[in-house]
Amino acid sequence: MKNNSQSDRQKFIRHAIASAFILQAVIIGIKGNLDVYSGKPALDVIQGMIVQGIELIVKTHRTRKSVEEIDRIKKDRIAQNPDD
């Protein structure tokens, strides 16, 4: 029972993190549109959006690697102590 509850919690956290990244991508797009509509040069706005997008991709990749490492450590710990 404990593992199922913990698994559900981990799934919820993963979905929350994924939703936060998606929301951040949407905000980048909305802000870019607002900047163009306010009169900023489109090339400058696009360049800024690309930079923000790359930063978001890097952050997403790091987060995924971190989650995978945590999962690997937990699996190793469970394999070493199956009675816990």
**Structural domain spans, the chain:** 2-80
**pTM (2 d.p.):** 0.75
The tens digit of pLDDT for each residue in 23-56 reads 999 999 999 999 999 999 999 999 999 999 999 9
The confidence score (pLDDT) of residue 25 equals 97
Residue 3 binned pLDDT confidence (cut-offs 50, 70, 90):
low
Yes or no: say if 17 and 34 are a contact pair by the CB < 8 Å rule: no
Q: Is 2 left (phi over 0), alpha (psi -120 to 50) or beta?
A: alpha
